[in-house]
Amino acid sequence: MTIIVTGAAGFIGSNIIKALNTRGITDIIAVDNLSRSEKFKNLTECEISHYLDKHEFIRQLREHALPYEEIKAVFHDGACSDTMNHDGLYMMDNNYQYSVDVLDWCQDERIPFIYASSAAVYGKGEIFREERELEKPLNIYGYSKFLFDQVVRRYMQAGLTAQVVGFRYFNVYGQHEQHKERMASVAFHHFHQYREHGYVNLFGSNDGYDNGEQSRDFVSVEDVVKVNLFFLDNPKLNGIFNLGTGRSQPFNDLAAATVNACRVAEGESALSLQELVAQNLIRYTAFPDALKGKYQSFTQADISRLREAGYDEDFLNVDEGVSRYVHWMLNNL
């Protein structure tokens, strides 16, 4: 049976394809827009049966003309994830309307639909739970994801013809994100900063948080893929779910994990945070005035619904996940 993956050459999409390949699944239609052609590198490790341009895919969807008879599922990870892109016309077409088109078609054809939402729907909130009153996006990217989630909720209330699952991704890091440039993970940027300059810079104290103690729910793409496949294996499960670890960790932990993984690879010993700071391997810069009052110092996914759905695997912590990611970057970038 065929599986369709949109955003196939992107960060999460390409990792999903690799995981499907590990299961022996290669009848995969990879859908993407390769106008930025460097993304193709993410597909060179993948086995697929066909590549389809995003715009041709949309045309065939709208005409119900896709020439595939037995489609097991659609993983919809095709979107612009640049939170600094303020072109509302583009973002709403690419992130919102595109998603509506794929959802409509999947429901018409009774095909499971597993898609990428985002923790950006919560804006500057301090409680991260899948409830409408907690959702107040701050930018057009977050709004495009938020609005589509509302469409999904209406579908669920009316009654579904096939599985629909959305994941609100928190701070995902891991292999195959290098094409994202400024929107790549903090782990990616820490790695390159350390390799180029020999140290990592973090924000200093602000808003009651000490140097480098602002924290995020950092989740490895390895875990993200496992959760996606869990729902593929359980097609009777539906809903919108937070996808983080449920554990917030400070940027100090992330920087220390990155530097120490590089040091160990170079034959040096790992150091404590205090030692890394004392040796100027982790440094702090004054918190920018322009960000004061606008910066989110804490995120942590409430993953109660994910656990209630039956997903009981442990998530990698920052030290485990970043060490694996650094090893991959040292060997592949």
List active site positions.
141, 180
DSSP labels, 47-103: --SEEEEHHHHHHHHHTT----S-EEEEEE--S---TT---HHHHIIIIIIHHHHHH
Angle, CA of 211, 217 and 219, to the nearest 5°: 125
3-state secondary structure of 146: helix
Structure tokens at 114: 């597993």
- What spatial distance separates the first Cα and last Cα of the chain, rounded to whole Å? 34
**CA nearest neighbour of 319 among 221, 205, 220:** 220
Q: How far apart are CA 82 and CA 181, in angstroms?
A: 10
Handedness of CA 185, 187, 192, 193 (dihedral sign): positive
Quick one: 69 exposed, middle or buried, by C-beta within 10 A (0-12, 13-18, 19+)?
exposed
Cα torsion for 258, 9, 247, 95, to the nearest 10°?
130
Is residue 277 within 8 Å of residue 202, measured between CB atoms? no
